[in-house]
Structure 1
Amino acid sequence: MEPEKVRAPNIRDVARLAGVSYQTVSRVLNDSPSIKPSTRQRVLDVINDVGYRPNQAARALVTSRSRTIGVLSGQTTHYGPATSIHAIEGAAREAGYRLSSTSIASGDYASIRSALDYLLSQSLEALVVLAPQVRVFEAIEELSIAVPFVTLESSGRETGHSLSVDQVAGARMATRHLIELGHTEIVHLSGPKDWIEADARMQGFLEELGAANLRTRAPILGDWTAHFGYYAGLELLRFRDFTAVFCGNDQMALGFTHACRDMGLDVPGDISIVGFDDIPEAAHFSPPLTTVRQNFAELGRRAVAQLLSELGGEAPRGQEQITPELVVRSSTARVATPAVAGRLRR
């Protein structure tokens, strides 16, 4: 004989135990100012005692508010996006909102449009777009989204809704650090084509070299993985016509460091390496990695704050950027002497 299922408490159970009408419980749940403080507290005490959880769908029908923020993401396994989404969820929950999130299955337009349509069908009150491809923002422009939204990207386009870490400034910091150490031959391992952050970091790298009147090399397009950094390193280090490398993220820097070790080269004695992101493991690479720190958690918190201010009637804040920070560790050093550099090229 199957055990009898225990029914979850409902709003009428709360009303009966608190000695009020179910309409009063509903007003308490919706923060009505007409409820006496003592009655409100009695209802809240019963809700806590019995473990009542309001039906969000039913509340949305009554109040015409879903208390839901949508999140569209492109890649949730990488440290940066995962950290931002966690912060968005925490800030939303603290403000009484929940998340409805989906990720883009692929970079094609149909997948992007399908993901956006899915989120917008959830009666969202606001939307955060955390996706790296240019095509995502082209789709957003076509849809003319009616709810407040913020895009966590650094394309520089005048959407009036963007919030980002200044990727160009971060790349210039990384490149300038290498130049100040005396490096004049610097290679850049970039992220994938069509990724906004990769393009911005490449732009910053080229701008800083140009400002220093140094020779520019065509950046090498990678895929953000340590695997790519390793094999690109093996190929590039066969010629050794450079003394430093700026990697578009920390994972590629890790792979490049591995390649240096396998080629019998010392980091930073022979090759200086800078990454980007400052993932938690970067401080424990061998050697610890010099990198550009992005405050992904702050980015997520500010995104929710910006949306809440718009939901409260304020105008969109326009473009807002957070300045990154250069974190200097042991993977960079002053360029080797000319005699040593000559031996590196042989």
Structure 2
Amino acid sequence: MADVARLAGVSGQTVSRVANDSPRVDPATRERVRVAMAELGYRPHRAARALRTGRTHTLGLMVSTLASVGNSRMLQAVADAAASRGYALVVVTVSAAGDAQDAFAQLRDQEVDGAIILNEATALTAGGLPDDLPLMVVDASGAVGPHATLHTDHAGGAGAAVRHLLELGHATVHHLAGPLGSFAAAERERGWREALAEASVPEPTVLRGDWTAASGHAAAMTLAADATALFAANDQMALGALRALADAHRDVPGAVSVVGFDDIADAADFRPPLTTVRQDFDALGERAVDTLVRGIETGAPRAADVLETALVIRASTRPAAR
């Protein structure tokens, strides 16, 4: 630090302020110090900073699985958002609710400043949450104590999908739901039910999958022969449903209109391109990290936040045949 100060022609305190992103440095001086840091290969020592500030600039992330598209996209978004703020990330996978307390212990051992409990957090919060660790809880039902919460407006997005299909003249909309116990699946099913009730149209029996394309294929094979509209709770199950309908020689969208949820990167390349509800995983990750870090650094109140969705209309839906 003294070498950087000499090269930049500033005090050691100014170098410290630049290293800690203090706003109390004018832009020209800040740039001069950063150039000196780069020239000398200087970077702050994380362990020494932690001893001085009591913070490690490390965030934890707890997740039940990284195999799902949503969780893997959220992991990338959280990692990018954390890195942009100078935070490292420690990832802990938890296979069952009973393992959650062990996971919290692991995160404490890593001396994280706070943690994000990723999508489908309900199962991981069943055993209670610690009060001594700042948390951001994503997609959980029930109380989470003093911690910040965030979720997509799953019900609102599902309602928009159902209204779109009803406005196309379909008599009702069948639903390929996600697994029982899933917060997102339950909310999307609720949005489907409420939209049908508002339109006073009959509610078909729910089909159910486990988020995978294979489960969507199996469930859609049982779809009623007179069904003309299907809302799938995620794009992967919609993909399986498209194959099942093709196997049954039912044209999409000629005989059946199909809508998914998530707007994964490949949805526009399905055959036909999939109408779906866009869930902004990048914005979710950014918002989760931003809220958690602000709480850690400023003690800001921990909020309950909801992110809006958007219906993306493509070629898998069309007006019902008359």
Paired with 1:180 and 1:132, the residues of 2 have a C-alpha distance of 31
Paired with 2:312 and 2:38, the residues of 1 have a C-alpha distance of 46
- The 1:218–1:146 alpha-carbon spacing in structure 2 relative to 1, beyond 3 Å, is farther
- The 1:320–1:36 alpha-carbon spacing in structure 2 relative to 1, beyond 3 Å, is closer
The percent of aligned pairs where both chains have the same amino acid is: 41
Q: What residue identity is the alignment partner of 1:303?
A: A
Paired with 1:109 and 1:69, the residues of 2 have a C-alpha distance of 21
Tell me what 1:136 maps to.
124
Paired with 2:27 and 2:214, the residues of 1 have a C-alpha distance of 61
* TM-superposed deviation, 1:197: 0.5
- The 1:19–1:293 alpha-carbon spacing in structure 2 relative to 1, beyond 3 Å, is closer
Does the 8 Å contact 2:161/2:311 carry over to 1?
yes
Tell me what 2:105 maps to.
117
Q: What residue identity is the alignment partner of 2:154?
A: Q
Q: Could you say which structure has the larger radius of gyration?
A: 1
* TM-superposed deviation, 1:113: 2.4
Pick from 124, 130, 134 the counterpart of residue 148 of structure 1.
Answer: 134
Pick from 160, 180, 200 the counterpart of residue 213 of structure 1.
Answer: 200
Pick from 271, 279, 300 the counterpart of residue 256 of structure 2.
Answer: 271
Q: What residue identity is the alignment partner of 1:91?
A: A
Tell me what 2:298 maps to.
312
Tell me what 2:157 maps to.
170
Q: What residue identity is the alignment partner of 2:124?
A: V
* TM-superposed deviation, 1:126: 2.0
Tell me what 1:75 maps to.
65
Q: What residue identity is the alignment partner of 1:149?
A: L
- The 1:223–1:18 alpha-carbon spacing in structure 2 relative to 1, beyond 3 Å, is same
Q: What residue identity is the alignment partner of 2:93?
A: S
Matched, 1:194 2:181: yes
Paired with 2:293 and 2:233, the residues of 1 have a C-alpha distance of 33
* TM-superposed deviation, 1:271: 0.8
Cα offsets for 1:82-127 (capped at 9, x unmatched): 23322222222222222122222x2x22222222221233222222
* TM-superposed deviation, 1:204: 1.0
Does the 8 Å contact 1:154/1:167 carry over to 2?
no
* TM-superposed deviation, 1:229: 1.3
Tell me what 2:280 maps to.
295
* TM-superposed deviation, 1:28: 5.7
Paired with 1:242 and 1:186, the residues of 2 have a C-alpha distance of 8
- The 1:270–1:65 alpha-carbon spacing in structure 2 relative to 1, beyond 3 Å, is same
Q: Give unmatched runs, 5+ long, in structure 1.
A: 1-10, 338-346
- SS across alignment from 1:189: strand
Matched, 1:101 2:86: no
Paired with 1:191 and 1:16, the residues of 2 have a C-alpha distance of 61
Paired with 1:31 and 1:154, the residues of 2 have a C-alpha distance of 34
Choose 248-257 or 297-306, whichever is displaced more: 297-306
Cα offsets for 1:147-191 (capped at 9, x unmatched): 332112153657562111100111111111111122224221111
- SS across alignment from 2:258: strand
Cα offsets for 1:246-282 (capped at 9, x unmatched): 1110011111111111211110111111100001111
- SS across alignment from 1:235: coil
Tell me what 1:182 maps to.
169
* TM-superposed deviation, 1:202: 1.0
Paired with 2:313 and 2:14, the residues of 1 have a C-alpha distance of 59
Does the 8 Å contact 1:133/1:194 carry over to 2?
no
Pick from 23, 30, 47 the counterpart of residue 57 of structure 1.
Answer: 47
Paired with 2:57 and 2:107, the residues of 1 have a C-alpha distance of 14
- The 1:28–1:235 alpha-carbon spacing in structure 2 relative to 1, beyond 3 Å, is closer
Matched, 1:284 2:272: no
Tell me what 1:6 maps to.
none
- SS across alignment from 1:269: coil
Does the 8 Å contact 1:72/1:131 carry over to 2?
no
Paired with 2:293 and 2:83, the residues of 1 have a C-alpha distance of 12
- SS across alignment from 2:221: helix
Paired with 1:334 and 1:156, the residues of 2 have a C-alpha distance of 39
Please report the TM-score for the alignment, with normalisation by the length of structure 2.
Answer: 0.87
Q: What residue identity is the alignment partner of 2:294?
A: S
